[in-house]
A and B are shown apart, each in its own frame.
Chain A
Amino acid sequence: MEVVLDQPMAHDRETRYLRLLSEHERAIRRLASSYEREPARQQDLVQDIWLALWQALPMFRGDCSERTFVFRIAHNRGVSHIQRWRRRRTEPLEAAAPIPHGAPDPEHVATERERRQQLQSAVQRLPLGLRQVIVLALEGLSHHEIADVLGITENNVAVRLTRARAALARALGSSGER
């Protein structure tokens, strides 16, 4: 459920920050995993996101929901993260590990962990524009909220989401485009 603050300045910065940290920490880690596969770098990204959020918090005026605000900051840091590693000319995230297989075999019952890894790998391989949209959709954001986070139209969100879902379905060997 979304929380829109009626009085944005009601709480002091520290209190609000700690509340956001406890509410969104897991979501931010999941989001970071879509930008970075390597665990140490992923942790760096998570910390960068929270640092950016601390710096940005005084600028929050309640013109969007807190969740939208947090995801905006997080995606922006994610983009900066890609930018930083390209600057260092290291291997791009998208080119790394293959998707672990298991789903096509009907006899094989994948564990939750395997399913999660497959999904995560498939998400990581999507083009950036699709990846951002599907990650926000997986987090449960509406089209309107996703549009608000990414600065694109709702129609654009719908188009990207359709393509992202089809690409994910293909990658995971499930039903695909229908």
Chain B
Amino acid sequence: MTTARDREMQQWMDAWHASDEASAAPEAIRRHVGRRRLLFAFWVGCEIVVCGGMLSFLLHRVLTHPDPVEKLAMGLLALITVSALAFSWWNWRGVILTGTGATSAYIALSVERTRRFRRAVYVGWAILAAEVAVFVPWISYRLYAGPDAPPAGAERFGWGLLAGITAAAVVLLSGLHMWTRREARILDELRRELDEGVRS
């Protein structure tokens, strides 16, 4: 038996489906998906080239440079790079793929991603500190180990570059730290809104 409520729902369903406008979207969607797939492949390719290139360079210096201090510094930087890559792999395992679960599980996954992102930021601070700890003695060694005073330009360049890169990393990490806090707050709001219909 059809009740008034059923009829009302049916009217809404009819209205909901009725006004479908003709759309050229499928072709546009296919092009968009194709572009994004290429972009993703390009991004992954760039990461592999940059990380691989950096590691190759560092290992080449370790193996071929005659100076033991240079070998040690490059070896430590290679170790930091490998550790960062290993941490990244460990940190993001299981949460990087597209969430295919129900919405509640998806929100939980997003919360977990944010938590791991925050952990990555903390480790980012540690990596920055480690790199500074390697670069400071290495730059000092390169500039001041010889009998002559270093050229002023080289000194400015060496310390200036380290200071600039460190400052940029501090700004970036601070920004990411704030971003994760905001992200956690937004997710919390969304979770509350999803429950709102039942609790109110």
Contact = CB atoms under 8 A, between A and B. Distances in A.
Contact of B20 (A26, A47, A129, A159): A26
Contacts of A133: 197
Contact of A138 (B16, B103, B107): B16
Contacts of A130: 196-197
Contacts of A47: 28-29, 32-33
A151 B30 contact: no
Given A51-B36, A112-B15, A175-B8, A29 B23 contact: yes
Nearest to A17: B33
Interface in B161-200: 179, 182-183, 186-187, 189-190, 193-198, 200
Interface in A95-134: 112-113, 115-117, 119, 126-130, 132-133
A72 interface: yes
A76 to B, nearest CB: 4
A152 interface: yes
Nearest to B27: A21
B197 A86 contact: no
B29 A83 contact: no
Interface string A8-41: 0000000000100110011001100000000000
Q: Is the interface of A mostly helix, strand, loop or mixed?
A: helix
13 contacts: A22-B26, A26-B20, A47-B33, A51-B36, A56-B98, A76-B106, A79-B107, A83-B110, A87-B186, A133-B197, A138-B16, A151-B105, A152-B104
Give the 9 A-B CB pairs with smallest separation, nearest first.
A151-B102, A151-B104, A129-B197, A116-B19, A130-B197, A76-B106, A128-B193, A138-B16, A56-B98
Interface of B: 4-5, 8-9, 12-13, 15-20, 23, 25-26, 28-30, 32-33, 36-37, 97-107, 110, 179, 182-183, 186-187, 189-190, 193-198, 200
